[in-house]
Amino acid sequence: MLELTIEQISMGQTAVDKSAALQLLAEKLVADGLVAEGYLDGLRAREAQGSTFLGQGIAIPHGTPETRDLVFTTGVRLLQFPEGVDWGDGQIVYLAIGIAAKSDEHLRLLQLLTRALGETDLGEALRRASSAQALLKLLQGAPQELALDAQMIGLGVSADDFEELVWRGARLLRQAECVDNGFAAVLQQVEALPLGDGLWWLHSEQMVRRPGLAFVTPDKPIRYLGQPLSGLFCLASLGEAHQALLERLCALLIEGRGHELGNATSRRAVLEVLGGELPADWPSARITLANAHGLHARPAKVLAQLAKSFEGEIRVSIVGGHESPVSAKSLSKLLSLGARRGQVLEFVAEPGIASDALPALLAAIEEGLGEDVEPLPALSEAPAPVADVAQVLSAPAPGSVINAIPAAPGIAIGPAHVHVLQVLDYPVRGESSGVERERLQHALTEVRQDIETLIQRSQSKAIREIFITHQEMLDDPELTDDVDNRLKQGESAEAAWMSVIEAAARQQEALQDALLAERAADLRDIGRRVLAQLCGIETPPEPDQPYVLVMDEVGPSDVARLDPARVAGILTARGGAT
């Protein structure tokens, strides 16, 4: 592992230009037995590809993949140039760090320099440093505090196993800019430490920008290695910033109070126990939902659009529910609440926007979010119990009569046109996050334009409303953030998009409300359209004669594309009357 030491530093060097500086570095690396003769060519080739100037008077010259076979031992050598060396484009280097590496060890060096690069006037300080000790102290930078606040705590997050919980914790660290992409994969390779009381600990120094700690608990009982898993700590370790927290946690476990963390229902309670940065109390407001069918797609769309009009965080939860608060700006998250008529919603908003946002949200809900609502009775309506009945699927016997859910009156007779959705093969890994993101954005743009055309063409207000909801789903910040995180981990646009869509659809199907659960079809419809665009698949043509369309599940965009003069009827294996 690359580390910086005093012995690696040579003070008071001079070079007339970058080429001369590279010559000095190569000679030093060769003399100390780190590389073979010829490594200089690799240093020059790398500079030809792009400057290794980092900023703040520092450059990190290193070889190319073609010269890695010239490296005997991984290491670095540091040359101070008090008079400065022009590295091109007016960039002056006072410290050149020559790297001999067999792979990507220079990334570790970047991690070590992160704190120093954030200091002001570092270049001038490096120029004036009079000793190797002083220069090394400048590179180590000022000690950083451990990042631990409310945004680093995830309680009751959706996770089916240990690996998914690790990914959730790593994502919080990534969102706080504590780690780089790929930190989740690093943690997956680390042996987890059981702390007792169902708590587990993971940490790594790789890909760390600044020290931080995330704590996540699952939304359901999980076991790992035969032991309960009620909470997971994910530490981005850098220096000794976590020592005070670790001592506090050990004392807590010795006192037998670890269960307070695993059973915590509020972030504030966790932070109070761990000694993290307590958030200011956010204003909150409550209101009882009066919509007949609860917070289904249409009213949820209105609510999300209203929340997006405020520049700040707004979250909502069901009072007495088990789910953590979700973003009020995310249509998919609002639907995942499964809020029903008579349930009480609690909104919390950042103090800076709460005085405007909370009254507006409550007024919109009171007015029905675009729907006509009946007043609630004096007592809250008890939700109808939902029986969990296991459905056994089997093929019907020949000649048997099948009972179905009617969606429209009348009798339709015609040849069956069985439309089987094509199974699309696509790579799991992408070319690069930038390329995959560009492909996905192009596909989303094409689908948005397609939906806008369907809205303009449709004569049915209900169909238009569904497509407007689809547009809102395409712009859902929670979905797009999840997809982007997967792209950064190297997944292809197709794999990242479909993984997020399918997870959101399954979450909708799990809701104990038939109407809300049916919205999973909308998500899959959107997902299928974007995937087809990514894969270059066109919609199959209709038969010329009138027919009965038979599909596993028909989406709203499928219906909107049908010619009423040709389609006598529609028969689906799944879905509902709407």
Catalytic (active-site) positions:
62, 296
Residue 196 Cα to chain centre, angstroms: 29
Per the CB < 8 A criterion, the answer to whether 115 and 144 are in contact is yes
Sign of CA dihedral 174, 180, 185, 190: negative
- 161, 126, 108, 152: which is closest to 55 by C-alpha? 126
Burial class (CB in 10 A: 0-12, 13-18, 19+), 450: middle
**143: number of CA atoms within 13 Å, CB side?**
7
Residue 134 CA to residue 119 CA, distance in Å, equals 15
Using an 8 Å Cβ cutoff, are 310 and 353 in contact?
yes
**Contact, 574 vs 552, CB < 8 A?**
yes
CA dihedral 516, 517, 519, 522 (to 10 degrees): 180
DSSP string, 306-346: HHHTSSS-EEEEETT-SSPPEETT-HHHHHHH---TTPEEE
Closest listed residue to residue 576, CA positions, set 547, 554, 551: 554
Both tokens of 284, joined, read: 């909150």
Q: Of 141, 173, 168, 170, which Cα lies nearest the Cα of 157?
A: 168
Structure tokens at 248: 């506090």
DSSP 207: T
User: How remote is the C-alpha of 23 from its chain's centroid?
Assistant: 44
Burial 403-433 (b: 16+ CB within 10 A, else e): eeeeeeeeeeeeeebeeeeeeeeeeeebeeb
Strand partners, 234: 202, 214
Cα-based distances in Å from 388 to 1, 180, 391, 506, 576: 55, 43, 9, 16, 18
> Is residue 66 exposed (0-12), middle (13-18) or buried (19+ Cβ within 10 Å)?
exposed
Query: What angle separates helix 461-474 from helix 297-308, to the nearest 10 degrees?
Result: 50
Q: How many CB atoms lie within 10 A of CB 539?
A: 11
Which residues on neighbouring strands pair with residue 286, listed in sequence order? 346
- DSSP result, 514-574: HHHHTTHHHHHHHHHHHHHHHHTPPPPPPPSS-EEEEES---HHHHHHS-TTTEEEEEESS
Structure tokens at 276: 């993290």
Q: Supply the Cα-derived Rg of the chain in whole angstroms.
A: 30
CB count in 10 Å sphere of residue 225: 9
